[in-house]
Each structure stands twice: as C-alpha cells, then as structure tokens.
Structure 1
Amino acid sequence: MRRKPPSAEGVSVSELLELIPEESVEQLAKDLVVDKWVKKLKATSLFKLVLFSLMSSERLSLRVMEEHYKDPLFQALGPALAADEV
C-alpha cells in the first residue's frame, strides 16, 4: 500500500511514525542491542520520545524529554508506552 508523502508543513509526530514501520525500529534496536542494559525504557519508546521531543521543542535536553515523556500527548502515541514505567 502506498501512502502519499506528507507535506513539508504540518507533519505531526504520529504521521511521521506511521511512515516508519514498527518492525524496522524493533529490528534496529535488536541489532544494536539497545535494550540489553536498560530494562525500564525500551528502545522503541526512546525512539518515539526523541522524535516527539525534536518536533515539539526548539531545545532538547534530558529535562525536556522527561517532561515530554509525562505529557499525555506523548503517552497517546502508542500502547507500548503504557507498559514502560520510568
């Protein structure tokens, strides 16, 4: 199924995440062994958090990412996030 490419303006995080297959993110995390040492925050959630933070803020820091992690808009991005507790 082909999807039309989003326009340069007004691309939401959820639209962008729809363009990236979940299997690709999971395979990349597996190949890089990202989840080996950190059990509380999975690689797929971290990827979504970084993407959400980059698109939502001009400045990116761990504190900003922590606030975004608690944001209900971020929590609504996927059911996998509900299982992760930080």
Structure 2
Amino acid sequence: MLRQVKSGGHFIAEDVVKNRYQISLDNLFLVLPYCDEIFIYANSSIAPELIFQLKDNCITQFSEFLPSWCEKILNNLRNLGFEKIF
C-alpha cells in the first residue's frame, strides 16, 4: 500500500484492504465451478508473479516458494478434490 501511495495512488485503509481480500477469496470459490482455468498471481512486487494455475482439477505450481496466503487456498482446493502437480 505504501508503494501505491508513494507512486501517486490514493490511500486505502488497512481494514478496507483486508475486507476486499476476504471478499476476493470468497468469490474465487464461488466462481470456481464455472471456470475452465484460473490463474493465481502474487502482486506484492512490481511485476505480478504467477503462483499457480487451476485446470482439469489439477493445481500446477509455477513458483518455487509459495506466499503464506496461498497455503489456505491450496488446502481448500485439495479439499474440493484438486490434485497438486508441479
């Protein structure tokens, strides 16, 4: 968030960011049955980094190291029947 403000963007309160994050996660699992493919990116650095892809009930991991927030998502996906492949 600081980088956004320093680069001329507007300030967003931390509680708003956390709320939007949770809503986005909830939406991911709502739309999952309707998607052929889903790509999960980390956008905490300047360039977005592809973390993993969901396709044909498989999770393909592209990043060697997973951000901590990905673990919960991956656990939920495995509980839904997705298999992790590398």
Scaled by the length of structure 2, what TM-score is found? 0.38
Structure with the bigger percentage of strand: 2
Structure with the bigger percentage of helix: 1
Considering only CA atoms, is the larger Rg found in Structure 1 or Structure 2? 2
Select the structure with the greater relative contact order (CA < 8 A; seq sep ≥ 6): 1
